Every structure is written in C-alpha cells, then in structure tokens.
Amino acid sequence: MLATLAAALLSLTPVAANGDGLQLGELTFRRCELSQPKSAATTAAWCAPFSRPENPEQPQGRRIEFRLALIRSEVAAVKPDPIVLLAGGPGQAASENWTSVAAALALARRERHVILLDQRGTGGSNALRCEAPQTEAAADAAAVVDAAAARKYTADCLAQIKDKADPAWYTTTEAVADLEALRQALGGVKFNLLGISYGTRVAQQYARRHPDGVRSLILDGVVPNELVLGAEFARALDDSLRGRFALCAQDQACNQRFGDIHAALYALRRQLREKPMTVALRDPLTFARREETLDAETYSSLVRLYAYAPESAALLPLAISEARAGNAAPLLGQARMVLSNLGDSITSGMGLSVICAEDVDLLQADAASAGLILGEDFVDMTKAQCEVWPRGRRPADFHEALKSDLPALLLSGQYDPVTPPRYGDQVAKGLSRARHLVAPGQGHNVIGRGCLPRLLGRFLDTLETDKLDAGCIAEMGATPFFLDYNGASP
C-alpha cells in the first residue's frame, strides 16, 4: 500500500487541464527553463516553489526561496525513488551542474525523475556570491596572496551579502535539513543520492541523519567524513602529478621530448620565485591582446587546475617545457578558460560558510606539504578568511566515519588530484554493501567516463553491488601526452 502511494505521488499527475502543472506530494511543478552562467542555452525542466527559514530557530524570520527543479522521466510507470543530484564545490548549484552530468545519467534516469535543489547559498537559492577583486583574470586563482589581503577580501565579501544573508546558516548541516524537508514535501519518498565531490559529504551527512530516506548512495570523487577540507590538497596533487608523469617516463617519445617532467615542474617554480614572467598573449575568450604576470603562486594554482582532467593533464609536460623556454602563453591561455568557468560556477561565500564552520578549527599546517607544488597557501589563506567570516554550527559527530548497510556505488579516478582513490577505500570500509570502482587514467569526477553511465544505470536498477560486472572500466586509460600542440605521437 505504501509503495503504491509513493508511486502515485511521483507519477506527475496533471493538475491542470492543459497539462502545465505536475503534482508531487505537496508541491506543484510547472514548466520552466534552467539557464547556465555565460550561456544563452537553457534546459527544459519542471520547477516548483520551495522555501525554508534561513535560521530554523527563527521560523518567522527571513526565508530562503530555493530553486527547485525536476528533470522528468518520460516513461509512463515512473519508479517511486528519484535521483537527487548533490553538486560539488562547495559552492556549485545542482541546477547549473546538471548539463555536465545529464549524459552520464541518460540510462539511470530513464525510469526515474531527477531532483535538482540548489543548496542554500548557491545558484537560485540566495547565492552568497561576491564580486572578485579587480585583478588580471588569469591570476584570479591566486588573487588573494597574503593573510592581510585574504582578510580584506573576506570582509568586502561579507559587506556585499550582509543585507541578504547570515552566512552562519549556510552549512552542510542546514542543507541536510533542507533536503529532508523537501523529501517530506514530496510525500516521504526515498532518495537515490548522487553526490559529486563535496556533494559526497552532503550525501553521507544526510544518510547518517535520515537513513530511512535513502534508497542508495552514488559517490563520485569521494570525500570521507573524517577529512578536513584542505588538509591534504598539497599531498593529493603531488601524488597525482607523480603518477601521471611516471607514465611519461615510461613512454619513449614523451621521455625523450621532456625528460624528468616532475623535476621540471619544481624547477619552473623556483625560476618564477626568483623572477616572475611577464607574458604577452591574446585572451582566449575575447582575443584581445594583454599582458599578465606569471608568478610562483599563480603557477602552482594553474598546475592544479590542469591536473583535474586527463585531457588537460596531457598538456602539462608540454606547457611546462614551453614556459621554461620562455613561452608561457599556452599555459596561461588554457587556464584562463578554465578559471572563467570556475568563477561563474563556484559561489565563494557559501564555500566559506562550509569550511569555516566544519573544518578550519581542525586545519593544521603540515611541514611535509610546505615544499610541495601547492604548498601551504590554502591553509594559511583559509585560516585568515575564517577569522572574518561568521561560523555556523557543526554536530559533534560530523567528522565520524559513516557506518551503514545502504547500497553504495563509489567512483574514483586513478589520478584524481583532490579526492584520490584511497578516500573511496576509506569510506567503503564503513559501508557493508559498497562497491568502489577506480577508473584507470582518469582524474576528478568520472561518472560520465567510459562505461560508467551504464554501470550506474545497472546499479540503480538492481542495487546488487556484488554482482555488478565492472570489467569494462579496464578499457579506460590516460590521455596520451601532447608532444607538441598537434597532439601525441602517432
């Protein structure tokens, strides 16, 4: 009886004669279009009004109007358990992240709706967005370069949003409460939680608080509950680069062309510390001529960005080699496009609310990381920023490992520079029905790679992690290194 009722609630029964309204539990969804930053393209969806108190202790106070959207399954008999996308960052919005995962979910969502709730402080849910400092665009990733500048930037950001939000209430814990309120409004259905990167933290926290509301967990780019965000960024990046550059050393053409690229990586940083480079280039987005300064801090940030995906990582040996020879325009130009997209998709204020409440008091300097390519800059800057930013609450068990018998599919990339495969192994130890798949040669977030979309669809249909035939992932591998800007060797 209960299953039949849940199915009815999610059957998208028309509530208007013209079919423009769709009723799910207490919520009425109507046709809408989801926009994307810096794009005229839109995605057809169904949207419903949904609001919650900003401060749950003051229910009559300021409310957050959330962006809530649904991507509809087209089958007549829809499964009663929707997929819920939990975006990364922290600071990305599910509605804006949808286009990047839509193809990966083509099979999984054939018989299920996808719920997109922009987490409070992101996208269309009272985004805590701050204008970036007026710096050269390619240096945006390292615009805050000392503690005093970090505190000033943070104070300016706080001043921009003080009339619309209290940042202390924009944490993972509050987001979990919002998600449960949405589930109840939908009629008490069960969720298939798809967490990506930081979204895997949200998924695990929700599963701990509301296990009866979860049918399955899919975690891509796994963040263990025990992890202090930022504590291992430098180590994870260096491990990723060492692994990838070892492939170059094993390839005769690559090794002959570039030699010891890991040594070259650090040699260029030493060179830039002694003398930053002035680089003339055409802006890859506007084609305007410009000059930019490449210093050691900016360089380290750009290397990290390149390491996220196998395609851009394949350019690193060539980009480093060219920069050491005096031509850093390709390194900066490629990164300019990546940085522009990141700046539009990440809501910096919400990210501060998360890390200042949940991690910063546990964040410690690590002498072993100081000499690595990323160094300790992130730790130093985060501590400075959180001296200014309001801090929310963190439950006492927040950083305890999740223990659960929920069916769980965990995904990692072999050379992920921020959430390495060992994190997936760590989380899987507490999940008695977990399966952890590591995609060979891949980087951060792999759900759309190779045969993984098919495996995800199979997992959601059966929840049989032990019987999932995942041999097809062996067909994946690293992108061949570019020997010049025409590509790899034949």
Domain extent, residue 9, equals 2-137+165-228+397-475
Predicted pLDDT of residue 133: 52
Predicted pLDDT of residue 20: 75
Output phi, psi for 321, to 5 deg. Answer: -60, -45
Kindly state whether residue 266 falls inside one of the protein's structural domains.
Answer: no
Predicted pLDDT of residue 384: 94
Output phi, psi for 90, to 5 deg. Answer: -65, 140
Kindly state whether residue 21 falls inside one of the protein's structural domains.
Answer: yes
C-alpha 127/C-alpha 407 separation (Å) is 33
Place of tokens 């390149």: 306
> Around Cβ 111, how many Cβ atoms within 10 Å?
17
241 closest CA partner among 108, 72, 415, 434: 415
Kindly state whether residue 242 falls inside one of the protein's structural domains.
Answer: no
Q: In tens digits, what is the pLDDT along the chain, a chain of 490 residues?
A: 334 334 334 444 444 434 678 899 999 999 999 987 766 678 999 999 999 999 999 999 999 999 999 999 989 899 999 999 999 999 999 999 999 999 999 999 999 999 999 999 999 999 999 876 544 333 333 444 578 888 999 999 999 999 999 999 999 999 999 999 999 999 999 999 999 999 999 999 999 999 999 999 999 999 999 999 999 999 999 999 999 999 999 999 999 999 999 999 999 999 999 999 988 887 766 778 888 888 898 899 899 999 999 999 999 999 999 999 999 888 887 766 666 555 556 788 999 999 999 999 999 888 888 899 998 888 888 999 999 999 999 999 999 999 999 999 999 999 999 999 999 999 999 999 999 999 999 999 999 999 999 999 999 999 999 999 999 999 999 999 999 988 877 6
Domain count, the chain: 1
CA 88 to chain centre: 3
Kindly state whether residue 110 falls inside one of the protein's structural domains.
Answer: yes
Kindly state whether residue 307 falls inside one of the protein's structural domains.
Answer: no
DSSP, res 146: S
- CATH value at residue 121: 3.40.50.1820
Kindly state whether residue 265 falls inside one of the protein's structural domains.
Answer: no
Kindly state whether residue 99 falls inside one of the protein's structural domains.
Answer: yes
Kindly state whether residue 271 falls inside one of the protein's structural domains.
Answer: no
> Does this model's pTM top 0.85?
yes
Predicted pLDDT of residue 460: 97
